[in-house]
């Protein structure tokens, strides 16, 4: 991933140095396990652990000869240990034993960062939702004014979605907590199950039940799909902010820093660049999810058609989601609410958005639903089109109605505390 979208903590998980360090953890855990089984001399295992070293540059240089990254790594590490290393490092293993087990470890490290970020984004939404629980604004369907609601209630919907994504991410990373050390095509012909069990125990991983030569890629596809879904949730929130920041609406604006410039040509502009960035990057995540699905079907026990794709999509998807979550958290915490504009927009239809309450009031007074609908529709549309207050028109059409009860904003606040109370149970 390009540096522009890479935050330092998760970027460090996916460096070449970090990858090779993780490979070394697996190799040394295997050597120790063989020693515990009495195959590798204990002194050799100790020497391997004390002396094993590599440099990225040395591995890269060796790969120019081997044209195989794991073989190049093994050669470099073996030479750092000495004669014993050449004999016992990588003993009984196939490349995928190291690659897939190490990838599981890297993904667990990335998962800790992503789940923490997902919770922070969720909690930022919860905090703002509770703050704005009584902030009246217009609710829209099809982009058209529908009924009054509260901004806190709207944010609560995004917060609960964010919580579901926390749970989905936790589950997706947990089902990737599997390694394998079962040798070529997974028969344990060169590595007994006891060695695999010792290694996985040392590394904090579970054993893949049947690994062929690789861990099945449905596990990785589940992760890329889950990341894409989390990105879609962030995009939904971002799209709402973008719509509310339109000049004609201007109920919400994303944060705008001192010294920030919205346009190189038009100094008045304050553009929703963070939420637009979230929207664009969510599209990238969906593309990675598709590649993840394509990686599931491999030829026979294994090919490497998944390998090149995964070197891109797994680091990039985790790095991008981390970046997007940071943007989403910042927008949720720092967005500016124009409450006076929210109140003004409630009056744009001249009260026509109370049409459902008027309809039910007429039905309760004894009028048939169809007749009541026609009365309300005619007068609501007239109010909207002519600028006449719907309350006045309805009073003329149905003089016996309790208009104060119909045109009562408090009715839209009655159940909000109960709904938002559910947020407290999920806040971190």
**Residues labelled as active-site residues:** 142, 263
Residue 209: CA count within 13 A, CB half-sphere: 2
CA separation for the pair 185, 220 (Å, rounded): 19
Concatenate the DSSP letters of all residues of 414-426 into one string: TTHHHHHHTTTTT
CA separation for the pair 409, 144 (Å, rounded): 19
Distances (CA, A) of 417 to 71, 155, 332, 412: 62, 13, 20, 11
For residue 380, which of 410, 400, 359 has the smallest C-alpha distance?
A: 359
Neighbours of 428 (CB within 10 A): 10
For residue 241, which of 357, 154, 141 has the smallest C-alpha distance?
A: 154
CA separation for the pair 56, 8 (Å, rounded): 20
The DSSP 8-state label assigned to residue 411 in this structure reads G
CA separation for the pair 339, 128 (Å, rounded): 14
Contact indicator for 363, 355 with CB cutoff of 8 Å: no
Sorted by sequence, the CB contacts under 8 Å of residue 61 that are 6+ apart come out as none
What residues does 139 pair with on adjacent strands?
A: 147
CA geometry: angle 193, 196, 202, nearest 5 deg: 140
For residue 21, which of 82, 102, 141, 75 has the smallest C-alpha distance?
A: 102
């Amino acid at each position: 991933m390009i540096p522009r979208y890479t935050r330092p903590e998760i970027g460090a998980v996916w460096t070449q140095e970090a990858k090779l360090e993780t490979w070394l953890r697996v190799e040394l855990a295997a050597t120790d396990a063989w020693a515990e089984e009495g195959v590798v001399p204990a002194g050799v295992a100790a020497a391997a652990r004390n002396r094993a070293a590599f440099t990225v540059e040395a591995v890269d240089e060796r790969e120019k000869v081997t044209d195989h990254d794991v073989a190049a790594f093994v050669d470099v590490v073996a030479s750092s240990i000495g004669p014993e290393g050449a004999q016992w490092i990588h003993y009984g293993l196939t490349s995928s034993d190291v690659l897939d087990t190490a990838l599981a470890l890297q993904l667990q490290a990335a998962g800790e960062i992503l789940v923490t970020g997902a919770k922070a984004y969720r909690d930022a939404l919860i905090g703002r939702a509770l703050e704005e629980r009584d902030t009246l604004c217009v609710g829209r369907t099809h982009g058209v004014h529908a009924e009054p609601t509260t901004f806190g209630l709207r944010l609560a919907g995004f917060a609960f979605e964010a919580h579901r994504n926390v749970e989905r991410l936790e589950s997706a990373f947990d089902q990737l907590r599997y390694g394998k050390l079962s040798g070529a095509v997974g028969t344990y012909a060169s590595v007994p199950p006891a060695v695999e069990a010792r290694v996985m125990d040392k590394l904090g991983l579970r054993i893949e039940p049947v690994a062929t030569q690789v861990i099945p890629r449905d596990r990785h596809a589940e992760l890329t799909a889950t990341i894409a879904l989390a990105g879609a949730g962030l995009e939904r929130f971002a799209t709402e902010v973008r719509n509310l920041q339109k000049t004609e609406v201007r109920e919400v604006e994303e944060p705008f820093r001192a010294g920030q410039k919205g346009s190189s040509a038009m100094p008045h502009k304050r553009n929703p660049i963070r939420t637009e960035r979230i929207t664009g990057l969510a599209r990238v995540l969906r593309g990675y999810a598709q590649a993840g699905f394509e990686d599931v079907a491999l030829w026979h026990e294994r090919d490497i058609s998944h390998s090149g794709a995964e070197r891109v999509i797994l680091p990039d998807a985790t790095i991008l989601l981390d970046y997007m979550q940071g943007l989403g958290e910042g927008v949720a915490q720092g967005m500016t609410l124009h409450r006076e504009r929210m109140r003004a927009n409630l009056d744009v239809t001249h009260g026509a958005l109370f049409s459902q309450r008027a309809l039910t009031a007429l039905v309760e007074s004894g009028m048939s639903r169809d007749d009541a609908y026609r009365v309300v529709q005619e007068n609501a549309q007239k109010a909207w089109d002519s600028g006449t207050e719907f309350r006045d028109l309805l009073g003329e059409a149905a003089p016996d109605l309790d208009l104060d009860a119909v045109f009562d904003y408090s009715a839209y606040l009655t159940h909000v505390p109960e709904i938002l109370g559910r947020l407290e149970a999920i806040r971190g």
